[in-house]
Structure 1
Amino acid sequence: MTHPPLRAVLETVAPYKPSDGVHDPAARPRPLSANESPHTPLPGIVEAIAAAGAGVNRYPDPGCGELIRALARAHGVTEDRIAVGAGSVALLQTLFQAVADPGAQAVYAWPSFEVYPTLAALAGVESVQVPLAGETHDLAAMTDRITDRTRLVVVCNPNNPTGTAVDPEELRKFLGSVPPTCLVAVDEAYHEYVRGPAAASALPLCAGHPNLVVLRTFSKAYGLAGLRTGYLVGDPRVVEGLRKAALPYAVNSVAQRAAVAALGLEDRLLRRVDETVAERARVRDALLRAGWEVPDSQANFLWLRLGEDAAAFGAWCASHGVAVRAFPGTGVRVSIGSAEDDDRFLAAADAWRSPERMPRAGREDRA
């Protein structure tokens, strides 16, 4: 049978596959694979969603006016510096498409957010992947890989999946080394979870760098993963171009209302983030005491250095009722969930390292 031809690149792009799970709710594993908030929406957000639902027979505001006004107030910037999309990944897709002149390249660290290569390939942009140094961005090496063909540099900060954060002063110096003709996107999807010296956002740097954009999301700290809402802050001329390239009506009316409500409840939501940060420390400390190698994460997940054991450990956790995100040959990312879910994961991790299991596995413990 003859089929209509599609772009050849589609044969090389792997479809996005969430971690294996069980569809039976009664047997569903503990959800520690997608970096979601473990907290259910606050009542004010639920009420906003219900109210917006009454008007879904009408198209949403294509300009996301109310949400952009609320974001502008929250960040102390003008409205023409903000673009909103269906999750920050949709804005990333628009960025790759917007720079996709023939021969264009995009530089980003690797491993990092697994969707970057797909977005680049679909946009026709050549990926230049720069290995991490100690699971952290090697900004000096990234600078060396920038050429006159580089149109976009992406810095995932904190980095997904390793959780490590870039030193703010190093990022400032890096921005000064990037040609003004090259766009720099700092992906701050997990910024609210950062603590300590690395907590400074790149947002204040946008005023002095017209080639800088910063991306945020409502999916993580704000707990709206199911509604797909994100935003970008940058120079008005860049934002204007991205708004032109975005699909109309991409952010639905329910999502817009929920995001506005979440901004109004930010203090309460960020207290929940503090709880997740405390739980992150508890789980990491338990793993370190048990002999695991776990980098100091500044996100709502932890990274386990497992190398060739990564896939096997992911399957092991699934068999023990815990869904984690395995990156075969590299490591495993474990989201921070409720204390009960995290305890189930710690029990699975302890069982993995138990003397009773290791003879059956027939190999040395490489965790």
Structure 2
Amino acid sequence: MAIGKRRKALESLAGYRPGKAANQAEIEHGIDNAIKLASNENPWGPVPPVADAIAAAIDGVNRYGDHRATPVREAIAGWLDLDVASISTGCGSSGILQQVMLAYVDPGDEVVFPWPSFEIYNIFCNLFDATQVRVDLRDHGFDLDGVAAAVSDRTKVVFLANPNNPTSTAVSTEALASMLAKISDDVMVVVDEAYREFASPSLGDPIADLLPSHPNVIITRTFSKAYGLAGLRTGYAIAHPEVIEDLDRVLLAFSVNNLAQAGAAAAIEHRALAMERVAELVSERDRMVAALASAGWPVPETHTNFILLPTGDKTDDIYLAMERQGVVTRPFGGLGIRVTISTPEENDRWLAAFLNAVGSGA
């Protein structure tokens, strides 16, 4: 029985596919002590003063928070030395990306992005009846000339996850500037920097390097990864004030809740502590890259808190073999397995599980 007149877009819309939970893997395989390394989460969570700020805000949850998360915007402005009019906030950086689609994309418009990349781009295109134009990666990295060439007079938005998810690769702001010179200013170009804190500083800063000359650029960032606040869903955008006005017009009411606002503001205040943990994760990432290379498994250059294991057409078998050993990762069929960098103990465990899986011929 059909209930309601469902939109045609939903007929082929699979919806977002989150990483599998550890307890789900335990049930499926009859195992104990599984670990989840499938969603690029911070293994430690927020630093203590941030956790304290979140706990202190609990008494206010009977009231709606500031709709625009003004205290968070002001804290970001002070931190990055920006005008607060250049900052918007949303329910994670994914919420900001949805606001971009709501503000700029009509049915039939084109949205260009490299592929494989963050799967939410594909989902949003289907949801908004937009025409997605995918540009294949080259050696796990962006083909920026190909991206520029794919832009047409029907293109409204270009999405670039830099660093890219799931391949972990990144391009410099100099390379992005060269691409932008070939794209009309009436096309919005979103530089999605969810993993910025884990990337090499030598790549440059799009706030200083791109925004002054390119008012069509939107930079999106999040407190989910580096700051350990994934469960609170707080993201932000940096763009020209007129663009911010557009994004705010489609901001879902009270989308950044009280606890999220308290956590984000405290995370900015105590960011040095979070960056110490980021440095630990980067060190662990580099240790794992070296160990994989020594075992005959070189991986793409990584600028994120995850590694892509290039397992190709054996991806599904190796992924399953690792999961049966209690290590839950994220498979991308035909491409590889994405594994989150975690604590030294968990990293040693997933490395052993991976080498056992490939050694067994999985």
TM range (shorter): over 0.9
Correspondence for 1:29: 34
- Give the corresponding residue for 2:308: 303
Give the C-alpha shift of residue 311 in structure 1. Answer: 1.2
Write out per-residue CA displacement over residues 4-32 of structure 1, whole angstroms, 9 at most, x where no aligned residue. Answer: 12111112111222233342789352121
Q: Which amino acid aligns with 1:21?
A: A
Provide the rounded CA distance (Å) in 2 between the counterparts of 1:113 and 1:129: 12
2:290 equivalent to 1:285: yes
Whether contact under 8 Å (1:21, 1:318) holds in the other structure is no
Match of 1:163 among 163, 168, 188: 168
Specify the alignment match of 2:15 in structure 1: 15
Alignment pair present for 1:136 and 2:131: no
The reply to whether residue 203 of structure 1 matches residue 207 of structure 2 is: yes
Tell me the matched-pair count: 356
Distance 1:28 1:116, change over 3 A: farther
Per-residue CA shift, 1:195-227, capped at 9, x if unaligned?
A: 2532x1211121221100100000000110010
Alignment match, 1:56:
61
Residues 184 and 213, structure 1, Cα contact 8 Å, conserved in 2:
yes
1:253 to 255, 258, 277: 258
CA deviation map 1:109-150 (0-9, x unaligned): 000001110011112211000000111110000111110001
User: What secondary structure does 2:308 align onto?
Assistant: strand
Find the aligned partners of 1:89 and 1:346 in 2 and give their Cα distance: 30
Aligned-partner Cα distance in 2 for 1:94–1:162 = 25
Map Cα deviations across residues 173-203 of structure 1 (whole Å, 9 max, x no partner).
11121101100000000000012532x1211
Residue type matched to 1:23 in 2? Answer: N
The equivalences for 1:180-329 within 5 A come to 180-195=185-200, 197-198=202-203, 200-204=204-208, 205-329=210-334
Write the distance in 1 (CA, Å) between the matches of 2:193 and 2:201.
Answer: 16
Letter in 2 for 1:252: N
Which residue is 1:4 aligned to?
A: 4
Match for residue 351 of structure 2?
A: 346
Shifted more, 130-139 versus 163-172: the winner is 163-172
Q: How far, CA to CA, are the matches of 1:19 and 1:312 in structure 2?
A: 17
Report SS of the residue matched to 1:231: strand
SS where residue 164 of structure 1 aligns?
coil
* CA distance in structure 2 between the partners assigned to 1:120 and 1:335 by the alignment: 27
Preserved contact between residue 215 and residue 233 of structure 1 (Cα < 8 Å) = yes
The answer for unaligned runs of 5 or more in structure 2 is none
Residue aligning to 2:151: 146
Partner of 2:132: 127
Verify the 8 A CA contact 2:168 2:303 in the aligned structure 1.
yes
* Aligned counterparts of 1:136 and 1:2: Cα–Cα separation in 2: 44
Equivalent-residue separation in structure 1 for 2:5 and 2:123 (angstroms) = 19
The AA in structure 2 aligned to 1:162 is: T
Q: Which runs of 5 or more structure 1 residues have no equivalent in the other structure? A: 362-367
Q: Secondary structure at the match of 1:275?
A: helix
> TM-score, normalised to structure 1's length?
0.94
* Contact 1:96–1:125 under 8 Å retained in 2: no
Structure 2 counterpart of 1:254, one-letter code: L
- The more displaced of 340-349 and 304-313 is 304-313
Percent of residue pairs bearing the same amino acid type: 39
Indicate conservation of the 8 Å contact 1:191/1:201, yes or no.
no
Give the Cα separation in 2 of the matches to 1:193 and 1:299.
5
The structural deviation recorded for 1:85 is: 0.3
What is the letter of the counterpart of residue 34 of structure 2? Answer: P
SS at match of 2:212: helix
Whole-angstrom distance in 2 between the partners of 1:73 and 1:167: 25
CA distance in 2, matches of 1:58, 1:154: 35
Distance change in 2, residues 1:69/1:173 (3 Å): same
> Could you report, residue by residue, the CA deviation over 1:301-356 in whole angstroms, capped at 9, with x for unpaired residues?
001111111111111111011111101122111110011111110111121232xx
In angstroms, what is the RMSD of aligned CA positions?
Answer: 1.4
User: What TM-score do you get using the length of structure 2 for normalisation?
Assistant: 0.95
Segments of 4+ in structure 1 off by > 4 A?
A: none
Q: Secondary structure at the match of 1:259?
A: helix
Return the alpha-carbon distance in structure 2 between the equivalents of residues 64 and 196 of structure 1: 29
